[in-house]
Amino acid sequence: MKILVTGGAGYIGSHTCILLLEAGHTLVVIDNLSNSKALSLSRVQEITGQSLVFVQADIRDETAMFELMKSHAIEAVIHFAGLKAVGESSQIPVNYYDNNVGGTLALLKAMQKAEVYNMIFSSSATVYGDPQTVPITEDFPLTATNPYGWSKLMVEQILSDLQASDPQWSVTLLRYFNPVGAHPSGLIGEDPNGIPNNLLPYIAQVAIGRLEKLSVFGDDYPTPDGTGVRDYIHVMDLAKGHLAALERNTNRAGRHVYNLGTGQGYSVLEMREAFAKACQREIPYVVSERRPGDIAECWADPAWAQQDLDWSAELGLEEMTTDAWRWQSRFPNGFEE
């Protein structure tokens, strides 16, 4: 199939491109490189021994999107492009809405014009807000607590309304839990800008000596060890979920929603311990204040994805941490050359 991948130079997109190429798909990747380097895509081609077309462009450029879709006879769009830093989204909300919501609208207009009706969208478990109970199923109430989360929820709503208005559309909303890990080659992985906001990249940078110690944000949550519990999922499992969704839902009209998680929660301290084991180093830490906006527990019920997509996560904590460490230790400065 001929697929347009937006944001494909980024963390999840680049890992997904590997599996898409290996499955024989033809890829046109567009990315404005606002949070990534083109080197990630060179590595994707090195790993797979196959080529893809990369165009540096912005999803907000409707004309460019339309022309690319037409000239490459695109059949489906996998839409990763977006800004994703929760804290930053409260500081510059207009940029977040412009990029994530405005960008998706431009992309959808181009798709309508080019008559491409298959869309797979990167949503997030953040759309469940602070859930009343865990595990979370897809029919839980939706809400948001920051502009980033609202932008995901708004795009979900837009895609749902679009599908309802024009039933030939196939819209797939993939709600990712907490993606971690790297390709087992160690050639690509997560490369955050500045000091990482997320737990695993932060721990990895402590392990490599770029950061002094981990701050554990609160140990008085109502969880077994008092620290926050999340559903960490290996990025290669997540990538596989996209392939499954593409195969199942392309030209299958409707609105399809899935949790992509493992169904298993781990605490901050458990993650720290698993990473220390993987890298055979100490990870010093201090307990600090809770981070505003954080919740105690968040983990998926992945049964629907298993049933409808025949997909489930296969990789555990050991693969997540050893693969992340292979990438971090091989390239301590990420894609910076």
Q: Catalogue the active-site residues.
A: 148
The nearer residue to ligand NAD, 84 or 256, going by C-beta atoms, is 84
- The alpha-carbon radius of gyration of the chain (Å, integer) is 19
Pairing of strands 118-124, 170-176: parallel
Residue 114 binding: pick among ligand WQD, ligand NAD, none (C-beta 5-8 Å cut-off by kind): none
- Tell me the residue nearest to ligand WQD as measured from the CB: 228
Span 178-237, contacts to ligand NAD by CB under 6 A:
179
Span 13-32, contacts to ligand NAD by CB under 6 A:
13, 31-32
Give the residue among 78, 88, 82 at the shortest CA–CA distance from 29. Answer: 78
By CB under 6 A, tell whether 176 contacts ligand NAD: yes
Pairing of strands 229-230, 266-267: antiparallel
The nearer residue to ligand WQD, 228 or 334, going by C-beta atoms, is 228
The nearer residue to ligand NAD, 101 or 222, going by C-beta atoms, is 101
Q: Are 48 and 79 in contact (CB under 8 A)?
A: no
What is the full DSSP assignment across 106-118? Answer: HHHHHHHHHT--E
What is the full DSSP assignment across 179-200? Answer: EE---TTSSS----SSS--SHH
Strand partners, 128: 143
Residue 137 binding: pick among ligand WQD, ligand NAD, none (C-beta 5-8 Å cut-off by kind): none
The nearer residue to ligand NAD, 15 or 255, going by C-beta atoms, is 15
List phi, psi (to 5°) of 216: -90, 115
The nearer residue to ligand WQD, 35 or 47, going by C-beta atoms, is 35
Among 60, 72, 113, 210, binds ligand NAD (CB under 6 A): 60
Among 58, 231, 319, 323, binds ligand NAD (CB under 6 A): 58
What is the spatial distance between Cα 125 and Cα 178, in angstroms, rounded to a whole number? Answer: 8
Is 65 in a helix, a strand, or coil? helix
Span of 57-65, 222-230, 298-306, 309-317 interacting with ligand NAD by CB under 6 A: 57-65
Residue 180 binding: pick among ligand WQD, ligand NAD, none (C-beta 5-8 Å cut-off by kind): none
Query: Minimum distance from CB of 58 to ligand NAD (Å)?
Result: 4
Instruction: Tell me the two tokens of residue 252.
Output: 């299958």
